Chain A
Amino acid sequence: MADLSSTFLGIRSPNPFWLASAPPTDKAYNVNRAFEVGWGGVVWKTLGEDPPIVNVSGPRYGVLHNTARQLIGFNNIELITDRPLGVNLEEIRQVKRDWPDRAVVVSLMVPCEEHAWKTILPMVEDTGADGVELNFGCPHGMSERGMGSAVGQVPEYVQMVARWCKEFSKLPVIVKLTPNVTNILGPARAAKQGGADAVSLINTISAIMHVDLDLMTPSPHVDGHGAHGGYCGPAVKPVALRMVGEIARDPDCAGLPISAIGGITTWRDAAEFMALGATNVQVCTAAMTFGFKIVEDMIDGLSNWMDEKGYAHASQFIGKAVPKFVNWEYLNLKYAVKARIDQSLCIQCGRCYIACEDTSHQAIFKEKNGQRHFEVNDKECVGCNLCVAVCPVENCITLEELPSGSIDPRTGERVGGYANWTTHPNNPAAKPQEESATSQ
């Protein structure tokens, strides 16, 4: 059995699955229920200054369903906790006392003023909480007040507040990053320079879910008007993966632990984020969709997969995919694949054909001896993967690597070896061969 125990900034938890700062962690009642089912830790829903904020009494959540009504994207306009600070602090104290083996980190958001942070940090520390997470990500409601993503979008602010927090508290400090920036490395590096112990990402993406075509208003609406909200759920996972990977491979961020957030629904999602450099993961939408019990599959799914792969501890695979995440110019242009259609699995739907014919490279034949039959034309196939993407049958179409030394029937060129764009003759900025090789 793999050891799932996790240590993040010295904070121990029985597994790497934490609930993210969000409605599921707003109060002791919910957190206790989560711990009973097995969640490894929580980041308590963001605390702010008294008097508490107020939430709308109209709909807070919007959803993107697929046609089978499965939730694939989720949006919220809820603000930080709307309960008095004292109530939250007292519940945090009790929960940590009741669950000493679980991680209890507290999310914070107060105005960008030194005294505000200086005031609240000792109060949190006094509860016995394990750490703080700075909410620099919330893109709605609070950002207009100069907090949340309004801070996260300005690296100088990130650095400044991180420094205050390290100065006024001995608790580990996690900076939660907003994805609503052009370059995630700016705030990530700033967090590190400010002395933060880790980053967590992504917070939600600014979004409008729908437009009601009868009312002509963003949907859902509050009394006829709609505000943008924060978008999350399975649909944002690829965006989050890229940002996590970007930080994980950045030399300036080297050694900065990452807690990954963004559409994590299964153990597999979690493993992917960890392979791309995250030490642990935080989950919200999946729990809000299915309830806390969903962690059971995350726990034994990850454990079973680790056993199968021979990983005794997550540290053995965390970051393992990071070196493979490179920029386009380092991809091997001498590598070539061709699509292969397994005729024994093909159900003759023809989707590969029409996708390729209409929108790509006209590389699939639609008949053979007058019969409906779909087969790849190697002379035209660029190996783009579109047919694989649209094929409804698992493993029916695969990409097969052309053997090294063979001739690609499309280009007439020999396959094999390594050559990338940095040395390609068509590249006006091509570097000499030796230099590019050493930069690998």
Chain B
Amino acid sequence: MGAKTPAATAGDIAAGRLEADEYAANFSDSHPPLTLQQSLVESDRCYFCYDAPCIQACPTGIDIPSFIHKVATGNVKGAAHDILKQNIMGAVCARVCPTEVLCEGACVRNSQEHKPVAIGALQRYATDALFASGEQLFKAGLSTGKRVAVVGGGPAGLSCAHRLAMLGHAVTVFEARPKLGGLNEYGVAAYKVTNDIAQREVDYLLAVGNIQVQGGKALGRDISLAQLRKDFHAVFVGAGLGAVNSLGVDEGGLSGVHDAVKYIETLRQTKDLSRLPVGRRVVVIGGGMTAIDIACQTKRLGAEDVTMIYRRGPEQMGASEKEQDWAQVNGVRIKHWTRPVGLLSSNGQVTGVELEYTKLDDSGRLAGTGERYTVAADMVFKAIGQVLVKDPFDENGRLLLDMRDGRIAIDDERRTSVPGVWAGGDCVAGGQDLTVAAVEDGKLAALSIDKSFKSAAKR
């Protein structure tokens, strides 16, 4: 990961900082798959708990002890079925889930030896084996004659589409971008989802049949909620989040200041990473998973110094402890209790970030201490959360769907305030902003949609 750039000058942003093999190594699988032998040893560690805490901790409710037992007995297909019937995106979730705060965090092995069963790795083992076999475990249900529009081909939308197809409903997925997969394809650090797993998973999912995809269709531009409600028996909105929060300082249109999600999107779609320019000195503002992903990936692209700026302490960071450790293993410096108060620039190019130390005041609110310092930067990334773009839901200044905390309000079944419209994934309020949670939203919405069709038929 060594940088070989000569002395720093302002705006030192360059491509090709590394040798070709270094790119390959830096963006290969960060956590290689288990071997057969490792899978047997690891699956043997599962205690097959009664009413297992890991199942409770999985947003999609995968029967984890059951699938692990099946890995141990060599019934890998049965294991994959256990996983995918609950979570059709179990292959990517095995790689991107913060398992340390979900299933593995709940593993009873933690209480004695602080080393949970490697559930994520075992889940990957089982789903990899299934994909390698090419066998399709699911099939579309007998046609019910019902048509459902799914807006957004990310984890929520695809999960919803797959479940609806299995229940016999005809699904049309509308996706604004060229590829399906949402953040699995356009977000998430590249080294977590190598070997085109996001697309392979999409292909597996679509192979169930009865799902039509309309690419290049954006809500509010090419399609409207009102029209979809007319054309389909039900609509599911899984549109994700479109905009990035602003820093709250004057960004002044400076060159070198980027949205982390946009840069990651570009990185994920760049075949030859040696052509992707990266700053010599990088500052990342934010403390979530996206902040970690951008920090580590710029470091792995050859940035010499990468500093993460977070206004509170490690406990408050959105990124898990394991993710924070991973950043530090990658040589990322994390500055806690510090916030940006201004950007430094020269000739329209950012040159650094002015920062202020923070603390909690007597009432427990975050406050600046007044003490300031600067960190030099050729590139500054904003990774301080995303917001829902509400325009598509706006009809003559009136929002079509009720909102809560800036996102779409839903009930337990993922129903919005409008009859016939369901929603899930990052665009809804109260979620965890996780792939696995989006998958569960889509699944629950599909079940609710199906239920609504059946109860309507009875009437």
Contacts and interface: CB of A to CB of B under 8 A. Distances in A.
| A and B bind | yes
Contact of B109 (A67, A347, A350): A347
B373 interface: no
Contacts of B227: none
A347 B111 contact: yes
Given A348-B108, A354-B50, A366-B50, A67 B72 contact: yes
B47 A351 contact: yes
B40 A348 contact: no
Interface in A204-236: none
B112 interface: yes
B43 A67 contact: yes
A69 interface: yes
A351 B40 contact: no
B41 interface: yes
Given A348-B108, A393-B112, A67 B40 contact: yes
A56 interface: no
A353 B48 CA distance: 12
Contacts of A291: none
B37 A69 contact: yes
Interface string A78-121: 00000000000000000000000000000000000000000000
Tier of interface size on chain B: 10 to 19
Interface string B45-57: 0011111110000
A350 B44 contact: no
A351 B41 contact: no
Contacts of B108: 347-349
A366 B50 CA distance: 10
Interface in A310-360: 345, 347-351, 353-354
B47 A68 contact: no
Contacts of A403: none
B395 to A, nearest CB: 47
Interface string A262-290: 00000000000000000000000000000
Given A67-B72, A69-B37, A393-B112, A348 B53 contact: yes
A66 interface: yes
Interface of B is mostly: helix
Contacts of A351: 47-50
Contacts of A393: 112
A392 interface: yes
A96 B50 CA distance: 59
A319 B112 CA distance: 39
Given A67-B72, A393-B112, A350 B41 contact: no
Contacts of B111: 347-348
A64 to B, nearest CB: 14
Interface in B78-126: 108-109, 111-112
A395 to B, nearest CB: 12
A213 to B, nearest CB: 11
A392 B40 CA distance: 18
B112 A347 contact: yes
B114 to A, nearest CB: 12
A350 B40 contact: no
A66 B108 CA distance: 22
Contact of A350 (B37, B49, B72): B49
A345 B111 CA distance: 9
Contacts of A67: 40-41, 43-44, 72
A354 B65 CA distance: 14
Contact of B40 (A69, A347, A349, A366): A69
A68 B36 CA distance: 11
B48 to A, nearest CB: 7
A349 B109 CA distance: 9
A377 to B, nearest CB: 16
Q: Which of B40, B44, B50 has the most CB of A within 10 A?
A: B50
B113 to A, nearest CB: 9
Contacts of B112: 345, 347, 393
B51 A350 contact: yes
A353 B50 CA distance: 8
Nearest to A367: B51
Contact of B50 (A66, A69, A350, A392): A350
Contact of B47 (A66, A349, A366, A372): A349
State the 6 A-B residue pairs at the shortest beta-carbon distance, nearest first: A350-B50, A354-B50, A67-B44, A347-B108, A349-B49, A349-B47
Given A67-B40, A68-B41, A68-B44, 7 more contacts: A67-B41, A347-B109, A347-B111, A350-B51, A366-B50, A372-B51, A393-B112
17 contacts: A67-B40, A67-B43, A67-B44, A67-B72, A345-B112, A348-B108, A349-B47, A349-B49, A349-B52, A349-B108, A350-B50, A350-B51, A351-B50, A354-B50, A372-B53, A392-B47, A393-B112
Interface of B: 37, 40-41, 43-44, 47-53, 72, 108-109, 111-112
